């Protein structure tokens, strides 16, 4: 009998029953919504970012969303022009206090954004008093109407360090600094947060992007009364970029802080990818905006089955395992070369591999127009496996190693 896997984690000294959290956004806008998310199974919630309305009154632009569709795959990405919470501090703090009372065993993280030192201190203190378990500092919203806030702060090492320090002084709660991906080297910003006393790093917030343009009016979308802006992009399309940042953070030995991974997570496999790259805690927004809180059921069940089937009892056994396999490209073993292998019995004769190899690789596919079958000319194949990736039959194209000491391989000569 296999032991059932345990999904609980320790993050900054706080126990989460599972690593799955709502990230700060409309999905965590109110206590009523958050309570439903807890009931659905989410282990923690990062509440929608609090601001101080007396310093800056938030008004949301309208409309504020545009979905990026890839052919028939709708919602491959989401662009938003949303600001931080437009509710009053008092209302938000009351919600946090109510939630903690109703769900003492679930984790509540208060996301805050100040515009001045006193703002940061005030929001930190009020969140702590209301019962929040952790603080997340929003250094990363890419479209705040208040000029020096959000990602502009997140691009400024000194501001990141200084604001983190203010918060650490104002409250005893562990602090997560939320990073913007709109920067070349995230590790440097994370190091600044660490210098200011941050206990953990979360990444990524949204990527500045333009998702669509109306070709008649020339107005990019979302069309906000005749104008638009490059604003935050999220969802499945940002996942590969997010994963890169997670591995950068994890592999930066000098940093050594726990990571909360965010960006395009929808399934337990996405979640597992982030864990394998070094995230301990996970956050989701766009997946929930698209499908609802219910997706956590499949994350929990799927990840539990994965672990149970492999006798993995605790998530700590796998965190970071994939980041450890990443090396500098200069360290690749190029004596190892492969060629493509097409399974004749599975080939359906569409010729997509032929077109791609012919125009995008090394003209190594031979297409028999009479039989309608593709085959590989091994003397020309460079082993890039473009053919494998375009083949509509998932298991038709494989590869095999060539002995480069014997065979003249097209990639080397």
Partner 1 sequence: MKLVDTRKIRQFQAMRDPMSLQASIKESNRCLLCHDAPCSQACPAGTDPAKFIRQIKFLNYKGAARTIRNNNILGTVCSFICPVEKLCEKACSIKALEDPIDIRGLQCFAAEYGNRFKLEPQEKSLKTKAKIAVIGCGPAGMSCAAELAKMDYDVTIFEREAKSGGVGRWNIPDFRLPGSAIDQDFQNLQNLGVEIKFNSAIDAGDSISVLLAEGFEAIFIGCGLSSPFTLKMFEGFTNTYDYNSFLRMVKVNRESLQLQDKSVVVIGGGSVAIDSAVSAKACGAAKVYLVFLESLEELPADQEEIELARTMGILFRPASQVSAVISDGNRITGLTGCEIEWLEPGKFVPSNATQVPGTEFSLKADVVIQAIGTSPGKEVSQLSKGMKTSGKGVIRVGETFETSIPGLFAGGDVVNGGATVVQAVGEGKKAAVAIDHYLTGRKAI
Longest dimension (CA), the chain: 77
In the list 59, 105, 215, 394, the residue contacting partner 1 (rule: CB under 8 A) is 394
In the list 171, 247, 286, 375, the residue contacting ligand FMN (rule: CB under 6 A) is 286
Q: Is 346 one of the binding residues for partner 1 (CB under 8 A)? A: no
Would you name the residues annotated as active-site residues? 141
Question: What binding mask, one character per residue, do residues 125-164 give for ligand FMN by CB under 6 A, x or -?
Answer: -------------x--x-----------------------
SS3 label, residue 345: coil
> Is the previous residue joined to 225 through a cis bond, with omega within 30 degrees of 0?
no
Element housing 108 (H / E): strand 107-112
Q: Is 302 one of the binding residues for partner 1 (CB under 8 A)? A: yes
DSSP letters, 73-128, are: EEEEEEEE---S--S-HHHHHHHHHHHHHH-TTSEEEEEE--SSHHHHHHHHHHHH
Question: What binding mask, one character per residue, do residues 303-342 give for partner 1 by CB under 8 A, x or -?
Answer: --x---x---------------------------------
Q: Is 92 one of the binding residues for ligand FMN (CB under 6 A)? A: no
Report d(CA 368, CA 309) in Å as an integer: 44
Q: Is 264 one of the binding residues for ligand FMN (CB under 6 A)? A: yes
In the list 37, 45, 84, 177, the residue contacting ligand FMN (rule: CB under 6 A) is 84
Report d(CA 335, CA 331) in Å as an integer: 12
Q: Within positions 12 to 51, which residues make up the interface with ligand FMN, using CB under 6 A?
A: 23-26, 48-49
In the list 44, 261, 263, 320, the residue contacting ligand FMN (rule: CB under 6 A) is 263
CB 155, CB 161: distance < 8 Å: no
Tally the residues of the chain.
413
CA proximity to 357, closest of 379, 382, 337, 320: 382
Q: Applying CB under 8 A, which part among 56-64, 242-250, 298-306, 315-323 lies near partner 1?
A: 298-306
Report d(CA 297, CA 118) in Å as an integer: 41
- Residue closer to partner 1 by CB (options 21, 295) is 295
- Residue closer to ligand FMN by CB (options 192, 282) is 282
CA proximity to 179, closest of 213, 151, 156: 151
Angle (CA) 379 381 383, round 5°: 135
- Residue closer to ligand FMN by CB (options 49, 375) is 49
Q: Applying CB under 8 A, which part among 7-15, 121-129, 294-302, 323-331 lies near partner 1?
A: 294-302
Following CA atoms 8, 258, 203, 179 in sequence, which dihedral angle do they give, to the nearest 10 degrees?
140
Instruction: List residues binding partner 1 (CB under 8 A).
Output: 2, 73, 266-269, 291, 294-295, 297-299, 301-302, 305, 309, 393-394
């Amino acid at each position: 009998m296999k032991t059932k896997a345990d999904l609980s984690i320790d993050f900054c000294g706080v126990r989460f029953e599972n690593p799955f959290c709502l990230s700060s956004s409309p999905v965590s806008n109110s206590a009523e919504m958050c309570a439903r998310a807890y009931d659905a199974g989410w282990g923690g919630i990062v509440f929608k970012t609090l601001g101080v309305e007396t310093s800056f009154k938030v008004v949301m632009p309208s409309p504020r969303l545009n979905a990026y569709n890839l052919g028939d795959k709708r919602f491959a990405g989401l662009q938003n022009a949303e600001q931080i919470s437009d509710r009053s501090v008092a209302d938000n703090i009351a919600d946090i206090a109510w939630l903690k009372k109703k769900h003492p065993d679930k984790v509540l993280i208060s996301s805050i954004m100040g515009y001045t030192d006193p703002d940061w201190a005030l929001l930190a203190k009020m969140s702590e008093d209301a019962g929040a378990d952790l603080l997340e500092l929003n250094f990363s919203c890419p479209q705040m109407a208040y000029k020096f806030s959000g990602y502009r702060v997140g691009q400024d090492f000194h501001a990141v360090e200084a604001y983190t320090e203010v918060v650490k002084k104002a409250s005893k709660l562990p602090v997560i600094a939320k990073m913007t991906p709109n920067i070349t080297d995230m590790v440097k910003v994370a190091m600044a947060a660490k210098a200011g006393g941050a206990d953990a790093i979360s990444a990524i917030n949204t990527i500045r992007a333009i998702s669509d343009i109306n070709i008649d009016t020339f107005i990019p979308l979302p069309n906000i009364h005749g104008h638009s802006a490059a604003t935050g992009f999220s969802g499945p399309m940002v996942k590969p970029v997010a994963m890169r940042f997670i591995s950068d953070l994890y592999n930066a030995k000098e940093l050594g802080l726990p990571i909360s991974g965010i960006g395009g997570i929808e399934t337990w496999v996405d979640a597992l990818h982030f864990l394998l790259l070094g995230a301990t805690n996970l956050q989701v927004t766009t997946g929930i905006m698209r499908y609802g809180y219910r997706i956590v059921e499949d994350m929990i069940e799927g990840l539990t089955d994965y672990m149970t089937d492999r006798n993995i009892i605790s998530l700590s056994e796998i965190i970071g395992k994939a980041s450890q396999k990443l090396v500098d490209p200069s360290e690749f073993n190029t004596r190892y070369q492969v060629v493509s292998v097409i399974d004749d019995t599975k080939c359906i004769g569409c010729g997509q591999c032929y077109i791609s190899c012919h125009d995008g690789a090394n003209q190594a596919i031979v297409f028999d127009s009479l039989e309608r079958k593709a085959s590989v000319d091994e003397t020309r194949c460079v082993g890039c496996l473009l053919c494998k990736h375009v083949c509509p039959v998932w298991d038709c194209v494989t590869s095999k190693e060539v002995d480069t000491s014997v065979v003249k391989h097209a990639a080397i000569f």
